[in-house]
Amino acid sequence: MVETGEKSTNTLHDAISVRSLVKSYGERRAVDELSFSVWRGEIFALLGPNGAGKTTTVEMLEGYRTPDAGEVRVLGLDPIRDGAELKQRIGVMLQSAGVYPTVTPLEILNLFHDFYRDAEDPKKLIELVGLEESANTRFRQLSGGQQRRLALASALIGKPELLFLDEPTTAMDPQARHMTWEILQTLRDRGLTILLTTHFMEEAERLADRVAIIDHGRLLALEEPRVLTQTSAEEVQFTGPAGLDTALLSRLPSAHGAREERPGFYVMQTARPLDLLVELTSWGRDRGILLNDLRVGHESLEEVFLRLTGHELRE
Amino acid sequence: MKALMAQTKMELMLTLRQFEGMLITVIFPPVLLIFFAGIGVKPSSADRPIDFLLPGMLALAVMSTGLVSLSIRTAYERNYGVLKRLGSTPLSRGQLLIAKIISVIAVDILDIIILIGIAYFLFDWHPTGALPIAIFALILGTATFSSFGLMLAGSVRPETTLAAANTLFFLFLLLGGIAWPLDKLPSFLSIPARIFPSSAFADALRDSLAKNPSFSLWNILILAAWGVVTLVIASRTFRWE
């Protein structure tokens, strides 16, 4: 029913492959016939509102929950049956850090270090996530953002091939968030596969190679963010004061029509978008009206989401 | 093996850092031993107060480690998501459980050394009785009260675990034949108190450490029954998150 962006069914080349996955809690289907693949070496984002089934899906991939139906392969393994082997090869960052409150970052990383056959040097990871000055501070005294960064470091300690991140940058300040994005991009460039859930559009748009939009446990779209947000080049969009005269706008020489989609958000049809941009800006200048976010044929991910699900992404 | 050792080290470190737990497991029993031995509480059957009190305090120490320290620590670990987080690492649940058991046994051994040291040096107590039976009873008691603790920790909010563990601890301490002889209680209290795991445990230890030691099958059975029942409930109701 939906174009899923599948290239092939070759599970050898997929880090994750999910077929017709179903999970119900009582009467409610949390995950409903979900199918997708995550390719090796990509950053894959699961985007959806609270209760969309993101965490339930990820937790079935991590081996925490048993699917009611459907097939799941992670690095070619069954997360339940081959759990012991799989856990050597994945790294997991949950929504709650799951660290003993009285233990320091260095202590918890030293502990996790000994769980894995081949592990990273804890000090290097402390440096990577910028926790040098808090390496010997007890977990409960760290800020929310520092706790998230420690959770990321603990997910990386086993030199994973595949990283699961559930809402990785929630509770981070903008600086820590940008640092985290840079770390994840570096890791991806080194060949790591990353699956993350998020409700930050900017995060999905900036970071992800492909984005899956899910709602009510179903897949609504799966594409590169660039493709998802690209609509026809015959449209020009902008924001401005609400209640501009659209009849007047549509009489601009290159315009075929104009409408105010939401208060202050305008969409215009044209065959000559570049000309229309020039006409629009001078039209605005003559009237002292500031027009913002002028774009040709581009929706934001937020708008794509709104269009697909019929509601806004808020958590 | 490396994973198990690392987790065991962590469990021991956490035990030492949990001040309330250490207070009730390591400091409280010796203080009670000195206090009650000082005021000379004993039932008519025992020659000296220390002969009655030392087995009781050994039972108390073992009981507090499993019932109070282990249960509260585990309940909060579940609440903080630590148990869940460990579930996605290669550390298996079996290894986690073994690490916890080793940490409980380590604290028990520390307690036993302290209590016997006090009895020996301050109250002129000398080892008598059947040591193998006493050791068997201590191992069984450790298993029973650890199961009891895990049962309390497994499914309710940690605040509830904390309240239940402390309530049971004081109930067992006061009515369970630990510091106060059952035959000095009124009969409406002493009759139910006889099937408490604490009194069965303390009496089994007393019988094995007496000058004419005996294997009290009845007490061992009561203690084992508590162990089996709580273990079954714990394994059926325990939630990792």
DSSP bridge partners of A198: A47
Strand order in the sheet with A90-93: A90-93, A162-166, A193-198, A43-47, A210-215, A218-223
CA distance linking residue B103 with residue A246, whole number of Å? 75
State which fold the A235-298 domain adopts: Alpha-Beta Plaits (3.30.70)
A118 in contact with B, Cβ within 8 Å: no
Average confidence (pLDDT) over A5-33: 80
User: Average pLDDT over chain B, rounded to whole?
Assistant: 91
Average confidence (pLDDT) over A243-251: 90
List pLDDT tens digits, range A196-237. 998 888 888 889 999 999 999 999 989 888 887 776 567 888
> In terms of DSSP bridges, do strands A193-198 and A162-166 run parallel, antiparallel, or are they unpaired?
parallel
Q: How does residue A12 score in pLDDT terms, banded at 50, 70 and 90?
A: low
Measure B100 CA to nearest chain A CA, in Å.
Answer: 14
Measure B138 CA to nearest chain A CA, in Å.
Answer: 30
φ/ψ of residue B88, rounded to 5: -100, 5
pLDDT for the residue A311:
72
Q: How does residue A313 score in pLDDT terms, banded at 50, 70 and 90?
A: low
Taking a C-beta distance cutoff of 8 angstroms, is the pair A145, A180 a contact?
A: no
Average confidence (pLDDT) over B134-163: 94
First-residue to last-residue Cα distance in chain B:
25
List pLDDT tens digits, range A45-63. 999 888 889 999 999 999 9
CA distance linking residue A177 with residue A174, whole number of Å? 5
Closest Cα in chain B to A92: B88
Domain A14-228 shares a fold with domain A235-298: no
pLDDT for the residue B127:
85
Does the beta-carbon distance from B14 to A111 stay under 8 Å?
Answer: no
Residue that the structure tokens 């084992």 belong to: B224
Cβ pairs A/B, distance under 8 A: 71
pLDDT for the residue A314:
54
Residues of B in Cβ contact (< 8 Å) with A111: 6-7, 9-10
Amino acid identity, position A114:
D
pLDDT for the residue A315:
43
Residues of B in Cβ contact (< 8 Å) with A93: none
Share of chain B above pLDDT 70, in %: 100
Taking a C-beta distance cutoff of 8 angstroms, is the pair B223, B200 a contact?
A: yes
Q: How does residue A298 score in pLDDT terms, banded at 50, 70 and 90?
A: low
Higher pLDDT, residue A187 or B212:
A187
List pLDDT tens digits, range B180-205. 777 778 888 888 888 899 999 999 99
CA A277 to each of CA A249, A251, A288, A294, A298: distance values in angstroms, whole numbers, following the listed order? 12, 14, 16, 8, 14
Average confidence (pLDDT) over A92-112: 95
Does the beta-carbon distance from B80 to A112 stay under 8 Å?
Answer: no
Measure A19 CA to nearest chain B CA, in Å.
Answer: 22
Closest Cα in chain A to B86: A98
Average confidence (pLDDT) over B161-165: 95
User: At residue B35, does pLDDT exceed 60?
Assistant: yes
* CATH architecture, domain A14-228: 3-Layer(aba) Sandwich (3.40)
Average confidence (pLDDT) over B146-161: 94
User: At residue A10, does pLDDT exceed 70?
Assistant: no
pLDDT for the residue B147:
95
User: At residue A312, does pLDDT exceed 70?
Assistant: no
Q: Which two tokens stand for residue A34?
A: 């979900």
User: At residue B58, does pLDDT exceed 60?
Assistant: yes
A116 in contact with B, Cβ within 8 Å: yes
Taking a C-beta distance cutoff of 8 angstroms, is the pair B169, B65 a contact?
A: no
Does the beta-carbon distance from B81 to A94 stay under 8 Å?
Answer: yes
DSSP bridge partners of A235: A269
Mutate to test the interface with A, among B85, B92, B95 (most CBs of A within 10 A): B85
Average confidence (pLDDT) over B76-97: 94
Q: Which of residues 155-184 of A touch B (CB under 8 A)?
A: 158
User: Average pLDDT over chain A, rounded to whole?
Assistant: 89
Helix, coil or strand: residue B118: helix
Q: Residue A199's closest CA among A182, A217, A183, A213?
A: A213
pLDDT for the residue A7:
43
Q: Which residues of B lie inside 8 Å of A (Cβ-Cβ)?
A: 2-3, 5-7, 9-10, 13-14, 17-18, 77, 80-92, 241
A147-161, A181-195, A279-293: least confident range: A279-293
Q: How does residue B31 score in pLDDT terms, banded at 50, 70 and 90?
A: very high
| Domain edges within chain A | 14-228, 235-298
Residues of B in Cβ contact (< 8 Å) with A114: 2-3, 5-6
A185-214 burial, b at 16+ Cβ within 10 Å, e below that, comes to: eebbeeebbbbbbbbbbebbbebbbbbbbb
Residues of B in Cβ contact (< 8 Å) with A158: 89-90
Average confidence (pLDDT) over A142-168: 95
Q: What is the ipTM of this complex?
A: 0.88
User: At residue A6, does pLDDT exceed 70?
Assistant: no
Closest Cα in chain A to B84: A98
Share of chain A above pLDDT 90, in %: 60
Does the beta-carbon distance from B85 to A101 stay under 8 Å?
Answer: no
